[in-house]
Amino acid sequence: MSRLPFSRGKTFCSLDEYLDHLEALGAVDLPWWREISPGVYEHVKRMPEAEREIATREELMERFGFKR
């Protein structure tokens, strides 16, 4: 996949690859997804007032356009 949020011109073959990329960018305060239980993710944002966002793996795959 290409043209994903915060992809910085990179393409990704899988959701896991993309989530790893986002986690690495979390070091510079960009949002990323943390697995909080098997197949369930929380959107990590550095803004204290941000509303908590939870998504399943299937929801993230659909949101970002990855196929199973």
Per-position b or e across 16-25, b if 16+ CB within 10 A of its CB: eebbebbeee
CA distance 58 to 54: 12
Instruction: Provide the residue-wise pLDDT of the chain in tens; the chain has 68 residues.
Output: 778 999 999 999 999 999 999 999 999 999 999 999 999 999 999 888 889 999 999 999 999 999 87
CA distance 54 to 29: 19
Prediction pTM value: 0.88
CA distance 42 to 9: 24
Structural tokens at position 66: 């990855």
Domain ranges of the chain: 15-64
